[in-house]
Amino acid sequence: MQDPKAIAERIIENVEKVIVGKRSEVRDAIIALLCQGHLLIEDVPGVGKTMLARSIARSTGCTFKRIQFTPDLLPSDITGVSIYNQKTEDFEFRAGPVIAQIVLSDEINRATPKTQAALLEAMEERQITVDGVTHLVPQPFMVMATQNPIEYEGTFPLPEAQLDRFIMRIHLGYPSNTDEVLIMDQQQHVHPVDTLEQVTDANEILRLQRAVKAIYVDPLIKQYIVSLVETTRRHSAVYLGASPRGSLALYRTAQARAFLDSRDFVLPDDVKALAYSTLGHRIIISPASRVKNISAASIVAECLDQVPVPGTRARLQPS
């Protein structure tokens, strides 16, 4: 049996063959996968958001479907429909693209709120309901949604309920000059994603997800997470702070980060490193503070400064 940590590292290295110079962002995407969570990638067009999702699907051998969100997209275009079969004289369910292990929701904020909401049940309950019949999604299941910045024309901001269902939000950003030249060299003849090899399979991903849940989290670290989330709710610039789902997201992603660092326990540094990516999109800034250009990143940074970091102590061994 292969070492789970080695499998995770091999996935990251394989994805980096396509996504150049973004190791931290690739690691965050794999962390979301290992936590059985969903990932929101927000950035301007053309920086590799779609390629990141395709690369992870190819590397893990998971089934992959892509949904291009547009203003005229209907909920049934996502979940599927029941069609009457004249031969059998019965209705047959034709599954939509959401019935896949990795689902890329491309430009999710281009669709109307009603269509965006079609993903809610699948993301939280891991199932969809069509015409009163429930259909389970395959395991592992992950929605990777890309989103253009809200300021762009023709976008519909995601409602708070849907934002809260994404375990993390990341930003890829522009590559450095050196990396951009390397990207051009790689794509001179063929796109690297077309030749990307599978390095693991869905069963191994499920095993990695179970291994992450076994990572030890000290009660002091749990209290640190809760105190940090509670501080976002009391911040003067915040209209609505992070929810308990935010605490769970920070807890689970900290376990996955420790796992990738070959530790069987979580450190406060894990919590600090993931605080913004797990809590930033859950914070609703008050209108008065928004006028002052106060950002979620600065609010999370202030909360981290205010909450005392727990000290270290020996882990008790079972007798």
What span, in angstroms and rounded, lies between the C-alpha atoms of 58 and 280?
29
pLDDT score recorded for residue 250: 94
pLDDT score recorded for residue 319: 47
Say which CATH topology domain 1-212 has. Answer: Rossmann fold (3.40.50)
Domain 215-311: state its class.
Answer: mainly alpha
pLDDT score recorded for residue 272: 93
Helix axes 23-34, 49-60, angle to 10 degrees: 50
pLDDT score recorded for residue 221: 93
Element (H, E) at 165: none
Mean pLDDT of 217-233: 93
What span, in angstroms and rounded, lies between the C-alpha atoms of 225 and 219?
10
pLDDT score recorded for residue 262: 87
pLDDT score recorded for residue 184: 86
pLDDT digits (tens, 9 = 90+) for 14-73: 998 888 888 889 999 999 999 999 999 988 777 888 888 889 999 998 889 999 988 888
- Residue 313, pLDDT > 70, answer no
> What residue type is 145 in one-letter code?
A
- Residue 154, pLDDT > 70, answer no
Q: Residue 2 class from Cβ within 10 Å (0-12 exposed, 13-18 middle, 19+ buried)?
A: exposed
- Residue 148, pLDDT > 80, answer no
- Residue 312, pLDDT > 60, answer no
Mean pLDDT of 159-188: 86
Check if the beta carbon of residue 82 is closer than 8 Å to that of residue 131.
yes
Which of 152-170 are b and which e, b meaning 16 or more Cβ less than 10 Å from the residue's Cβ? eeebbebeeebbbbbbbbb
pLDDT class for 215, splitting at 50, 70, 90? very high
pLDDT score recorded for residue 246: 92
Written as six digits, the tokens of 10 are: 């091999």
- Residue 101, pLDDT > 80, answer yes
Mean pLDDT of 270-292: 89
Q: Residue 129's beta-bridge partner residues?
A: 134
Mean pLDDT of 215-227: 93
pLDDT digits (tens, 9 = 90+) for 103-134: 998 888 888 888 887 888 788 888 888 877 88
Across all residues in the chain, what is the average pLDDT? 86
Poorest-pLDDT segment among 34-38, 189-193, 241-245 = 189-193
pLDDT score recorded for residue 102: 92
**Residue among 212, 240, 246 at smallest CA distance from 226:** 246
pLDDT score recorded for residue 153: 63
pLDDT digits (tens, 9 = 90+) for 246-263: 999 999 999 999 999 888
Give the residue extent of every domain in the chain.
1-212, 215-311
166 or 290, which is more confident? 166
> What residue type is 303 in one-letter code?
C
What span, in angstroms and rounded, lies between the C-alpha atoms of 179 and 207?
34
Written as six digits, the tokens of 4 are: 């789970």
Percent of the chain with pLDDT over 90: 29
